[in-house]
Amino acid sequence: MTHRPDRAGDDPAIAGPGEGTLSIAAILAETARRRPDAPALHFMGHTIPYGALWDQTRAYAGALAARGIGPGSRVAMIVPNVPDFPRVYYAALALGAVVIPVHLLFKTDEIAFVLEDAGADLVVAAAPLLAEAAPAAARAGVPLVTVLAPEGLEIGGAPVPRLEAEAAAAQPIERHTAVHPLDAATVLYTSGTTGTPKGAVGSHLAMIEQVHCSLIDSFDMRPDDVIYGGLPFFHSFGQMAVLNIGFRRGAAIILLPKFDPDEALALLVAHKATVFTAVPTNFAGMVEAAKRSPERPPLRYAVSGGAALPVALLEAFERSYGAAVHEGYGLTETSPSCTFNVVSEPIRPGTVGTPMWGVDVAVADPDIEDRTVLLGEPGVLGEIVVRGHNLMKGYLGRPDATAAAVVDGWFRTGDLGTVDADSVVTIVDRKKDMIIRNGYNVYPTEVEAVLARHPAVSIAAVFGVPHETHGQEVHAAVIPAEGADADPAELVAYMKERVAAFKYPRVVHVVEDLPLGPSGKILKRDLVEVYGG
């Protein structure tokens, strides 16, 4: 046999990882070079151009470098949607460090768990959040530096280091550090809806490919767009679908640290917002805000994700704002998007669209967990599985959990759904949220979609409560529409007329708010704990 020296096993240029580099920090650096005077952020009456934001970021990076942060370091950040989030985020990435954004509502024990589990080398916390962040950092033995703190701030008699002051004295970096495309960029902790949070490790390649595929195939994003930036950047949805995609295109982002529908509407109008990206609970709030104000922003379209959007709510938002809502689907482990109702095509209400370029979405037998057995017939219900460039590298320090989640190369999402002959994906529900009443399967999302059409309902959550006779009983928690009197008995009767006898909620709880996870997803396990006793 003739020997061929170009075989992969012989030539490291073929078999090895290569010498290419890729960094998420280039998103901000390159846009600042091309569009230095274009607005990057609108925040509290101030506008920060791209050039100035990159200069500030380079100074922050210089301060972090002076603290020993470099390639492979792990920087946790507890910062809301203010200009310091992108400064710290891109500064750490520019040094080749790994960023660990932490949920802003986490308490001391939860923050300490993340810091210890992630092996954080430094935590950057906004001053208003130090009450929980400082003791967590001390418990985990992680150095802490703050942003947004007044001069002279002390904790326990000791001054708190201020990153702004350190940046003013530091030598700014000249350019971002070269990293391998498959190097870790972020560790994003799952919401913990199914147990202890796990850190999903995302690579530079997966995240940048997500940005480019979204811009080329999914979004109609333009450099002169103004994007609503109220989705929390510590979560993958806001971080990717707003911050990284918006900055890659060179659009402007309106920052809102905490969602308030009336304030959001006022900001959207004031800055002439053209793109609204949010979760269903935000859409419900905006529909109610529209009843209180006649003003409207010039929205071109809206994007929904994070949880299923009831068709009734989609239609109500379109009527209120004159903008089509394009729904997508994804998870923290998939960077996050897998599918999308492409902006340039007619939307398919009730579906999450078609797979993104380079991402395979299929349906597998949900009862077989050690192998991925695909169900090839179009429209058959099963577990949604995903493979492609968007997958995480794995769960940090949890090889067993990674092996259980990625089986035969497919990520097992835990969501039940269908894929039709045209590759249109419909999510039915979470496997763990499915209710079994008298042996019949009840899918909460289906029931919620009907309940949401009642004029007295703003948003609803359907969940199963243990029952001695039926196995589980169907309950619903609803937030009333503005000015409406939501009567539980009337809602039960309404549903009894519209869905099968085993599906309708026998008990309806009228509430002021619902427990939410970091992406705005309703935490049904909390509802079960409250009403299941």
CA 498 to chain centre: 33
**CA–CA separation, 114 and 52 (whole Å):** 32
In this structure, the strands spanning 394-395 and 354-355 are unpaired
CATH number of 50-189: 3.40.50.980
Supply the pLDDT for residue 4: 47
Tokens at 393, concatenated: 């590298």
Q: Is 3.40.50.12780 the CATH classification of the domain at 259-430?
A: yes
Which residues fall within 8 angstroms of residue 459, CB to CB, at 6 or more apart?
280, 281, 284, 310, 313, 452, 478, 479, 514
* Structural domain spans, the chain: 50-189, 259-430, 434-531
By percentage, how much of the chain surpasses pLDDT 70?
A: 96
Question: Quick one: pLDDT band at residue 518, thresholds 50, 70, 90?
Answer: confident
Tell which CATH architecture fits domain 434-531: 2-Layer Sandwich (3.30)
Residue 467 has pLDDT above 50, yes or no: yes
Decide: pTM greater than 0.75: yes
Which residues fall within 8 angstroms of residue 79, CB to CB, at 6 or more apart?
85, 88, 101, 124, 125, 126, 129, 147, 234
DSSP 337: E
Task: Give the residues across from 416 on adjacent strands.
Answer: 383, 429
Identify which has the larger pLDDT, 413 or 8.
413
Q: Per residue in 346-388, pLDDT tens?
A: 999 999 999 999 999 999 999 999 999 999 899 999 999 999 9
What DSSP string runs through 415-432? EEEEE-TT--EEEEEEGG
Average pLDDT over residues 185-200: 79
- 259-430 shares its CATH topology with 434-531: no
Q: Per residue in 209-233, pLDDT tens?
A: 999 999 999 999 999 999 999 999 9
